[in-house]
């Protein structure tokens, strides 16, 4: 999960990621939400591996 969020944090800057953008929800946004979204990113950041 940590690797996913590191790899895909750039998706947040893509068109369609934010509500109100053209193309919302983008495939990147759908995947981001499926992985737990911002809450998932925060949670996985608290885990030491």
Q: Where are the domains of the chain?
A: 2-44
pLDDT given for residue 11 in this prediction: 95
Per-residue pLDDT tens, the chain, 49 aa: give them: 999 999 999 999 999 999 999 999 999 999 999 999 999 999 999 998 8
pTM: 0.88
Which residue has 């929800």 as its token pair? Answer: 25
Distances in whole angstroms, Cα of residue 15 to Cα of each of 8, 42, 45, 46: 14, 23, 25, 29
pLDDT of amino acid 2: 95
């Amino acid at each position: 999960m940590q690797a996913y969020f590191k790899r895909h944090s750039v998706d947040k800057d893509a068109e369609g990621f934010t509500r109100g953008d053209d193309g919302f929800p983008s495939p990147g946004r759908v995947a981001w939400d499926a992985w737990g979204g911002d809450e998932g990113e925060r949670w996985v950041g608290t885990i030491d591996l």
